[in-house]
Structure 1
């Protein structure tokens, strides 16, 4: 039984995130994401086979992410009204990396993105901001229409990339705060979910202390 327990939630992780020369082109084609932006696949610490290749980069203008996600043969399942149940990506950013906080502050942001569900035909991507449970404070009002999301669905995988502008990240100030909290989860109904650090059983969605630390490097 013990060898089946995840080990990542019992460690504090820190990763380096490289600076973007300019805000990336967000179209789902992943052209901005070279190997220097690739994030470590921490699931391999538990001898799991990764299903996600993740990238991240920053600039004074905001924070960008890219994901290449393997999937099975079944079609993507997305529902903007019940987004937490279906295929998609969650990205959490704490612009202060306050590890000692067991409850979210106004600097903690929980974004969710779905590869499908928007537009008249339902084939456009969805992006939203989730209000974290038990938070001490929530971020001030954020216009999520400013967030760029691009998706490309292929055979056996799909790619999703996004850029969160500084206007959507309360407290974003890389010059003064070079360490941020960062986390992602990929919900994958056709294969298996993948988490960057803490798993669902350890409450990453209410407790930001389980997120990794990201150093904003040059």
Structure 2
């Protein structure tokens, strides 16, 4: 059954007009009055719905029952990502949402190829958030991970709560395996660099901010691969 994100207050029996993005997808799928949908608004669980009217660009539905199903990971994993360039960041956001990331926080680092600020950064963040929504519609998640506006590394380091496990992926000698370093905490923040990795000074800054060095093994992974590997180990 088609699933759509509908960030509106939802209640059994309510008649609502779908948001423009969901309505457009319904039109593309050539759905008709009487067809059933599944809606979720990011607040938990999902709703059955039936199309009652198809307009030229708008779609009305009637809500049915709420099912309190959750498909979240047992541990909240936040990624602080040195943004890879081109389409790789799009791919990273999509896969991170599918794998259960609780949040994706892009950062600007010394070796970042992708440089964003101001209005351009805000537009790119909107694009990434839309990619995360589409991934949740596809994979069955009912809670959409937040995607942040790109920040300087120092700002991103400060936003990770001290009560959570905070790790920086590192090839330094003495780095503990990622799962071991995360322990049994309910929330983990994982920092990794872009193409070329973090500089020694940036890694030192993360360690000084309370992040612990963690390893994914001896091989050097691409930035987007490191995110997928970390999430697979910690969130699934």
TM over 0.5: no
Larger helix proportion of the pair: 2
What is the TM-score normalised by the length of structure 2?
A: 0.26
Larger Rg: 2
What is the TM-score normalised by the length of structure 1?
A: 0.28
Larger strand proportion of the pair: 1
* Structure with greater contact order relative to length (CA < 8 Å, sep ≥ 6): 1
